[in-house]
Structure 1
Amino acid sequence: MVIFVTGSGVRGSPGRGAAATGGSPSSAVVAVTEERQNLTCYSCNSQLEGEGCRFPHNLSLAMRRTCPPSHRFCSVTRVDYSVDPGGAMRAFSIERSCSEHCTTECVAVGERLRLYMCRSCCAESLCNTGNEARALLEEGGRALLASRRLTVPLLALLVAACL
């Protein structure tokens, strides 16, 4: 809806059912309000969908989800692990989803069996195709790993999968 604000009143745009209360459109300040469309994000988990979720070129139309209005972000959460300190990281899982709140970050836990959880966030439809947080980790952003937060269920799930 377009609203005209004038010195002598407010009126709605023609054909929108708003009554005119006076004023000249030529002297108006125009305010445009638009309805916010819900975000669309890829939504999948590599533990359930396999390789289809892991790599961007495998993402399909079936993985697209319209987010609830309160979810303003698309996110990618990736969990990797290494068995030896300084050893090569191995992929465990990747999840793409809608998120109400999101922080781009990487966290690590463990000494010998080291778990890495990286999350990246974006705010445009279908933007969750990569994982920029993972790139931060690979480019030497290990200072982000000072935190030792990782949920116990996630840790238990990863350890069970490695056995």
Structure 2
Amino acid sequence: MIIRVIWCLCSVALFPVEAVHMTETQHRTKAASEKQHDLWCHKCDSMVDGDKCLDLSGNYSHLHQKCAKEQKKCQVRRISMSTSTEEVTGKPKLWLLQRNCLETCDSGCIVIGERTKLHSCITCCDEHNFCNSGSGAEQARFVLEDLLIAVFNMFRIIP
């Protein structure tokens, strides 16, 4: 008993800094340090779900999806078409809107075509559950399209 008490006193006297240090820090494995995954996204397709996918203001719990562990992003994909002439570019008309969970996601827009244009925009988010409720892809497209029109008009020769 006396030996055990002396050993305890010696170990506290010899290692007081380590004893305090060990209680103040935590060691976490890589897996424990990663963000806990519990993401929910809207999942719908305007071709299948119709207007419910466009306007999520109703109580459409069947459009809610818990993302799989490897799916860490919510996405909105918007595909629109427009026609243009030399003077006028028509407003894009929605052809398809999809919302879902994805493993990886790259936001951005592309426009393909000259007179008949196909606009494809993707927005990604992971800030909070159901963050893919808007159609922010449309805003990004108009900024890019307006910039391109302005640059084109700067170099256009007026008779």
TM category, shorter: 0.5 to 0.7
Where structure 1 has 5 or more consecutive residues not aligned to the other structure, the ranges are 1-7, 9-21, 146-163
TM-fit CA distance, 1:112: 1.5
Are residues 1:87 and 2:90 paired? yes
Are residues 1:99 and 2:102 paired? yes
Q: State whether residues 44 and 95 of structure 1, in contact with CA within 8 Å, keep that contact through their aligned partners in structure 2.
A: yes
Partner of 1:110: 113
Q: State whether residues 51 and 58 of structure 1, in contact with CA within 8 Å, keep that contact through their aligned partners in structure 2.
A: no
The structure carrying a bigger helix percent of its residues is 2
Residues 68, 27 of structure 1: alpha-carbon distance in 2 compared, 3 angstrom cutoff: closer
Matched to 2:115, the amino acid is R
3-state SS of paired residue (2:47): helix
Are residues 1:78 and 2:78 paired? yes
Residues 59, 82 of structure 1: alpha-carbon distance in 2 compared, 3 angstrom cutoff: farther
Partner of 1:47: 47
TM-fit CA distance, 1:27: 3.9
**Larger RCO (CA within 8 A; separation ≥ 6):** 2
Residues 57-76 of structure 1 correspond to what in structure 2 (within 5 A)?
57-58=57-58, 60-76=60-76
Distance in 2, matches of 1:144 and 1:99, equals: 30
3-state SS of paired residue (1:141): helix
Distance in 1, matches of 2:147 and 2:77, equals: 15
Partner of 1:5: none
Matched to 1:76, the amino acid is V
Q: Give the length in aligned residue pairs.
A: 124
TM-fit CA distance, 1:26: 7.7
Partner of 1:18: none
Are residues 1:132 and 2:128 paired? no
Where structure 2 has 5 or more consecutive residues not aligned to the other structure, the ranges are 1-14, 149-159
Distance in 1, matches of 2:45 and 2:90, equals: 25
TM-score w.r.t. the length of structure 1 is 0.66
Matched to 1:115, the amino acid is L
TM-fit CA distance, 1:110: 1.2
Residues 104, 144 of structure 1: alpha-carbon distance in 2 compared, 3 angstrom cutoff: farther
Partner of 2:37: 37
Identity level (%): 24
Aligned-residue RMSD, C-alpha: 2.7
Distance in 2, matches of 1:77 and 1:131, equals: 8
